[in-house]
Amino acid sequence: MTVHGDIAVLGGASTLPAHRGQGAQTQLLQHRLRLAREAGCALAVATARPDSVSAANLSKAGFGIYRRSAWTKS
């Protein structure tokens, strides 16, 4: 997780295959959101593959899901 002003960016997170399905990602997500709140962040953002377990976990944590078909150069 990195903090940019009052925005927390939740970077990549993964769970070893042998430990998946035991709630580790959910606990890590909650921990990082707690740290973001303590740091004064008003917003948190993250990315995940569409229709993945990670996307479902983000949704359960209260994130809005926005699909983006492609990134464009500004």
Residues 64 and 55: their CA atoms lie apart, in Å, by 10
Collect the ranges in the chain with pLDDT lower than 70: 71, 74
Is the torsion defined by CA of 51, 55, 59, 64 positive or negative? negative
Q: Please tell me the predicted confidence (pLDDT) of residue 74.
A: 66
Q: Model-level pTM?
A: 0.81
Find the helix packing angle between 53-60 and 24-38, rounded to 10°.
50
Taking only the tens place, the pLDDT of each residue in 45-63 is 999 888 888 999 999 999 9
Q: Please tell me the predicted confidence (pLDDT) of residue 57.
A: 92
Q: Please tell me the predicted confidence (pLDDT) of residue 70.
A: 72
Name the token pair of 55: 């996307």
Q: Please tell me the predicted confidence (pLDDT) of residue 62.
A: 93
Residues 11 and 46: their CA atoms lie apart, in Å, by 7
Which one-letter DSSP state was computed for residue 20?
Answer: T
